[in-house]
Amino acid sequence: MDLCLTVNGQPISLPEVPGEASLLEVLRGRLGLLGTKEGCGVGECGACTVLLDGRAVNSCLTAAWQAAGRQVTTIEGLAQGGQLHPLQRAFVEAGAVQCGFCTPGMILAAWDLLQRNHHPSDQEIKQALTGNLCRCTGYHDILRAVRRAARWLREGAP
């Protein structure tokens, strides 16, 4: 099938996408967007999280055709004009990045949360990100980063 979708603001048309292809396979294999990671293939780890019309989804469990005609945002599309998104900057500065493999998915899942909830409690942050596994940080500094980004988004980054 031919697949038309918008990825990081760019309209894209892809010929001959197999019906069983996942959005993850299309993003990585056809579009070379390697920032979207694969960690389990069964929707458990969240490393493949992308935004579909602004909502976080596991791209390994999302069929490519489900994205037809819709807006997909990957980690590569988050920084505007080279400027890091406040979440990205907060992750860097709070030490929330260790090996960095879970980071793209974690940031996009947090983006979805902060879009809907400008003032999340710690418990709300934990709940929103509980589908994104990290083996390095113990989540401690990720929590600090999301708190900080929420504040910056409300009050402006320093």
Partner 1 sequence: MSLGRSLIRVGAEERVRGRTVFGYDLERPGDLHLAAVRADQAPARILAIDPGPALALPGVLRVFTAADIPGENRLGIIASTRDHEFLAQELVRQQGQAVALVAARTLAQAQAGARAVAVAVRYQPLPGVFDPAQALREGAPLVHPERPGGNLLHERRIRRGDAEAALRDSAVVVEATYTTSPLEHCALELEGGRAEYVDGRVVVAACTQNPHYDRQDLARFLGVEPERVRVIQAETGGGFGGKLDLSLQPFLALAAWHLKRPVCMRYTREESFRATSKRHPLVMHFITGADEQGCLTGLQARILCDTGAFASYGLAVNMRAAVHASGPYLVPHLDVVSRAAYTNNPFTGAMRGFGVPQIALAHEGQMDALALALGRDPLELRLRNALRNGQATGTGQVLHSGVGLARCLERLRPIYRRWQARAASGEDFREGVGLAAMFYGIGNTGVSNPSTAQLEWGTDGRVTLFTGAAEIGQGSDTVLRQLAATRLGIPVEEIDLCRGDTDRTTNAGATSASRQTYISGNAVLAAADNLEMQLVQAARQMLGQHHLELELRGGRLAAPDGRSLAPAQVARYLTGQGRRARGAGRFDPNFSGLDPDTGQGRPYAAYAFAAQCAWVRVDTDSGLVRVKEVAAAHDVGRAINPRGVMGQICGGVAMGLGMALMEQFRFGQTDNLHRYHIPTFLDAPRITPLIVEEAEETGPYGAKGVGEPALIPTAPAVAAAVGRAVGRPLRHLPISLERVMAALTHEEAEHAN
Nearer to partner 1, 62 or 101 (CB): 101
* Minimum gap (Å) between residue 13 Cβ and partner 1: 20
d(CA 141, CA 138): 8
Backbone angles phi, psi at 30, to 5 degrees: -95, -35
- Residues 36 and 22: their CA atoms lie apart, in Å, by 12
> Closer CB to partner 1, residue 5 or residue 101?
101
CB contact at 8 A, 109 and 55: no
Tell whether residue 140 is a contact of partner 1 (CB under 8 A).
yes
Between residues 10 and 69, which has the closer beta carbon with respect to partner 1?
10
Binding mask 54-93 for partner 1 (x = CB under 8 A): --------------------xxx-xx----x---xx-xxx
Q: Is 111 in the site for partner 1 (CB under 8 A)?
A: no
Within 7-139, residue ranges assigned H as helices are 23-25, 86-93, 103-116, 122-128
Alpha helices in the chain (DSSP H): 23-25, 86-93, 103-116, 122-128, 140-155
| Region near partner 1 per CB under 8 A, out of 65-73, 112-120, 133-141, 148-156 | 133-141
Taking the complex as a whole, how short is the minimal distance between the CB of residue 1 and partner 1, in angstroms?
A: 17
Contacts of residue 36, defined as CB under 8 A and 6 or more positions apart, other chains included, come to 24, 27, 28, 48, 49, 50, 59, 74, 75, 104, 105
CB of 127 to partner 1, least distance (A): 7
Binding site for partner 1 (CB under 8 A): 33-42, 44-45, 47, 74-76, 78-79, 84, 88-89, 91-93, 95, 97-104, 107, 125-127, 129-143
